[in-house]
Amino acid sequence: MNQNLWSVSAQDFFTKKMLTYAFAPFLFTLLVLYALFFSAADAGLDSLQDSFIQVESTQTTQENGITHTENTNVVYSGGSSILAFLMEYSITSWLVSFFVFTVGGMFMFVVAIFTAILVIGFLTPAIMKELQARHYPDIALEGHGNVFSMLFHSLRYVAVMFILLIVLIPFYFIPLVNIVAINLPFYYLFHKFYILDVGTTALTKEQYKQMMYFKGNKVRMNTVILYAISMIPFAALITPVFNVIVLSHTVLRSKQEQLEAPLES
C-alpha cells in the first residue's frame, strides 16, 4: 500500500462505522468526567466549609514617647473566606492559580484521555478487523498475551508514569520547560497504552519486538503527533478511534513488510 498513512487513516475515520465507534468512548468519557467534576466539587466545598484559619498580628506604634502594642486576631472560616485570604497575597494567589488551572486542568485532561483509551480498548479488535478486511486481506491478526499480562504491563506503565511525575517536579516551575516536563509522563503512558493495545491485537510477540526494534522511532513519532492532536480542547474525547486507526495501519504495514522481506531476499 503506497497511500500516505495519515490520508488513508483520515479516509477510514470518516466512514459511518468508524464515526459510530468514535462516539462510544466520547459519550462514556463525558459521563465519567461529569460525575468526577461534581463529586470533587462537592467534596472540596464541604471540606472548605468546615475549615477555618486564625491569623494573629501585632502592630506597634509610638506616640509622645509612649509605645502602644495592639494585637489583632482574625478568623477566616468557610470556603469563600479562606479563598479570599489566600488570594490577598501574591505568592499564595499564584500557588492557588497554578494548582487550579495547571494541576486541575491536567488531571481532567489525563482522565479524559485514559478513560477514552480504556473504552476504546474494547473496540480495538473490531476496528482492526475492519481495516484488515479493507486494506490487508492477506494478513492475519495474530495477537499475543492474555488478560493477566496486559494487566501486569499496564500497572507497570502506570507506576513508571507516577515515578516520572515525582522526579520531574523541580522542572514544573521553570517556564516553557514545565510544558515538556508535565506532558512527558502522560505521553509515556499514552504511547505505551496504545501500542500495547494495538500491537498485542495484531502481532505475535516476535513480530512486536521486531517492529519496535526496526520501526520504533517511526512509531514514537506517530504517537507524539497523536498526543499533540489529543491536547486540542475536547479532541481527546473523539480522537481515540482515529489514534487506533493510525497505529493499526502502522502496525499492519510493519507486519506486511516483515512477511514480504523473506520473499524479497
Q: In this structure, which amino acid lies at residue 199?
A: G
- Please tell me the total count of domains within the chain: 1
Q: In this structure, which amino acid lies at residue 167?
A: V
- Is the residue at 23 inside a domain? yes
- Is the residue at 192 inside a domain? yes
- Is the residue at 222 inside a domain? yes
- Is the residue at 86 inside a domain? no
Cβ-contact 222, 244 below 8 angstroms = no
Distance CA 53, CA 216 (A): 54
For Cα atoms 34, 186, 249, give the angle at the middle one, nearest 5 degrees: 95
- Is the residue at 164 inside a domain? yes
- Is the residue at 248 inside a domain? yes
For Cα atoms 164, 210, 201, give the angle at the middle one, nearest 5 degrees: 75
- Is the residue at 200 inside a domain? yes
pLDDT the model gives residue 135:
92
Residue 140 structural domain: 5-43+102-264
Cβ-contact 197, 244 below 8 angstroms = yes
The residue ranking higher by pLDDT, 178 or 93, is 178
Strand 66-77 and strand 52-63: pairing? antiparallel
- Is the residue at 64 inside a domain? no
pLDDT tens digits for range 69-92: 665 554 444 444 544 544 455 555
pLDDT the model gives residue 154:
87
Cβ-contact 60, 67 below 8 angstroms = yes
Alpha helix (H) ranges present in 50-168?
79-87, 90-97, 104-121, 124-135, 147-167
**Measured CA distances, 161 to 87, 135, 164, 173 (Å):** 32, 35, 5, 19
pLDDT tens digits for range 135-154: 999 888 888 888 888 889 98
